[in-house]
Amino acid sequence: MDENKLMVDKLQANINKQWVKLNVGGTYFLTTKTTLARDPNSFLYRLVQEDSELISDKDETGAFLIDRDPTYFSPVLNYLRHGKLVINKGLAEEGVLEEAEFYNVAELIRLVKEKIYLRDTRPSRDSKKHVYRVLQCHEDELTQMVSTMSDGWKFEQLVNIGSQYNYGSDEHAEFLCVVSREYGVPETSEVEHSDRGKVLQQKGSRM
C-alpha cells in the first residue's frame, strides 16, 4: 500500500516537473517544458533548463516573471504548441514579430515576416479602377440590354429620364442605364468616374 502511494507520489512529482507557469506582464500562462523547448535556441528553452544560466525571478506562486506584453505572447506560445502561426483579429503582425524576436524563435520570425510581406504587397480593394458607362435605351430594350451584359460589366443604376418621343398615342419612356467594370491598377492611380455619366444621372434625377 505504502509502495503504491510512493509510486503515485513519484509519478505526480515527475508530471509536475513537466509543467511550467509563466507570469508574462501580470498574466499567467501554464504550459509544459516540452512546448517551451520546441526551439533549442530560444530564450524560453534556456529558461526552463535545469542548469540554465539565465537569472529569472519567480513570483510568490513560483511562476517565472517575464516583463513583456501578454497579448502578443499568446501567438508565440501557440506556435510552440502546434507549429502554426495564428494571430487573432486586432493584433498587429509587427507586435508578434517583436515578441518572436525577443524570445528568439527563428521559424516564427520567418513566418511573421512572410505574413507582413504578403500583407503589404497584396493589392488593396481601393486600388482598383472602376470604369463607368451610361447607355441610353427605350423601355422595350431594357430587358435585352441587361441580359446580354458580359465581359465583366455590371449593372449599377437605372435612371428614368421621361419620354422624349411619341409614337401615335403611345409614350415610350427613355432610360439611362449605368454599368461599371473593375480593373486592377496600381495603388497610386485614382478611381475615375465618367463625367458624362455623372451629368446624365443628375439630369435624370431632376426629371
Identify which has the larger pLDDT, 26 or 158: 26
On whether both 47 and 117 belong to a single domain, the answer is yes
Model confidence at 76: pLDDT above 50: yes
Q: Tell me the C-alpha distance between 160 and 178, whole Å.
A: 11
The last residue of one of the domains, among 121, 145, 169, is 121
On whether both 90 and 41 belong to a single domain, the answer is yes
pLDDT at 8: 44
Q: Tell me the C-alpha distance between 176 and 200, whole Å.
A: 8
pLDDT at 204: 47
In angstroms, the Cα distances linking 127 to 52, 153, 184, 191, 192 are 52, 18, 7, 8, 11
**DSSP letter for each residue of 121-178:** HSPPGGGEEEEEEEEEEEGGGHHHHHHT--TT-EEEEEEEEEEEEEETTEEEEEEEEE
Q: What are phi and psi of 193, to 5 degrees?
A: -120, 145
pLDDT at 153: 79
In this structure, what is the dihedral angle of CA atoms 94, 96, 98, 103, given to the nearest 10 degrees?
Answer: -160
pLDDT at 181: 81
Model confidence at 199: pLDDT above 50: no
Residue 164, domain extent:
126-206
On whether both 91 and 145 belong to a single domain, the answer is no
Q: How many domains does the chain have?
A: 2
The last residue of one of the domains, among 93, 121, 149, is 121
Residue 3 within any structural domain of the chain: no
Helix or strand run (H / E) with residue 107:
helix 106-121
Q: Which of 59-68, 100-109, 153-162, 177-186 has the lowest mean pLDDT?
A: 177-186
The last residue of one of the domains, among 73, 103, 121, is 121
Q: Can you give the three-state secondary structure of 66-103, one letter per residue?
A: ECCCHHHHHHHHHHHHHCCCCCCCCCCHHHHHHHHHHH
pTM for the full predicted model: 0.54
Which range scores top for mean pLDDT: 76-90, 118-132, 170-184?
A: 76-90
Beta carbons of 4 and 18 less than 8 angstroms apart: no
Residue 37 within any structural domain of the chain: yes
User: What is the per-residue pLDDT across 126-140, written as a single tens digit (0 to 9) for each?
Assistant: 556 778 888 787 777
**Mean pLDDT computed over 177-182:** 81
pLDDT at 126: 55
On whether both 143 and 90 belong to a single domain, the answer is no
> CB within 8 A of 60, min separation 6: which ones?
none
CATH code of the domain containing 65? 3.30.710.10
**Mean pLDDT computed over 108-114:** 95
User: What is the per-residue pLDDT across 167-177, written as a single tens digit (0 to 9) for each?
Assistant: 544 566 787 88
Beta pairing, strands 19-24 & 27-32: antiparallel
User: What is the per-residue pLDDT across 85-102, written as a single tens digit (0 to 9) for each?
Assistant: 999 899 999 999 999 999
Beta carbons of 150 and 197 less than 8 angstroms apart: no
pLDDT at 130: 72
